[in-house]
Amino acid sequence: MKHIPRKRFGQNFLTDGGIIDAIVDAIDPKAGDPMVEIGPGLMAMTQPLVERVGRLTVIELDRDLASRLRLHQQLDVIESDVLKVDFAAVAQGLQTRQLRVVGNLPYNISTPILFHLLEYVDLIQDQHFMLQKEVIDRMVGAPSTAAYGRLSVLLQWRYAMQEVLFVPPESFDPPPKVNSAVVRMVPRATPAPVDKRLLEELVQVAFSQRRKLLRHTLGRWLETKAYAGDFDVKRRAEEVSVDEYVALAAEVGAAA
């Protein structure tokens, strides 16, 4: 029976064979890799991946699709909302400390998924995701550009990231109304030590009114933290580099 894509799950199924091959080549799966696929759907990427790795763990929320996936003898199916999945438990089950995570992420919740996985970054070898092109632009955005923001800072602190492939709407069924792309995310071996919660709060405040100078937002927040340093708040949030934000969070944390 043909599966009807469900809008509430953000389902757009990849159907372009050339694009699928290019994505799998970019992932470069090896036999025995402890790989987890988020949202396998109709197995467009799942089958070529499992043929290379031998066995694959997949996370699927749609119960009808999960039932189909269980018929595949080389798949271990986790039927769940990915935001509720404990990736530490998944790694333990696979007897590994380094997961490889891939997927065509539902565009309506892609950012929450990225932040959820950030909690498990120490257990990640690499991540390859298909996402809305606009989201990837924000992920890899450079300072002093419109794309640069909270997502850029928090992810670039922990990952080296690269857009590896552009994917047009006609590669999907049904075609989404946006362009897509594939991003490679490799955790940094020695990220700057900083309290993640504090950095998140700091960046959230900084970009809360990105058109205003930071003295109106971050400056006031720094006052509540009794910060006595000389951070320049006569700039806008997008003019501050990732390293500067991280260093400021470390200073604030050390003074607390």
Point out the annotated binding site: 12, 14, 39, 60, 81, 104
Which residues are known binding-site members for S-adenosyl-L-methionine? 12, 14, 39, 60, 81, 104
Structure-block tokens of residue 164: 């590896």
Q: How far apart are CA 164 and CA 181, in angstroms?
A: 8
| Nearest in space to 159 (alpha carbons), one of 191, 119, 117 | 191
Nearest to 101 by CA among 27, 163, 23: 27
Residue 15: partners with Cβ closer than 8 Å, 6 or more residues away: 44, 171, 172, 173
The answer to whether the beta carbons of residues 181 and 166 sit under 8 Å apart is yes
CA dist 241 to 117, 144, 158, Å?
23, 9, 14
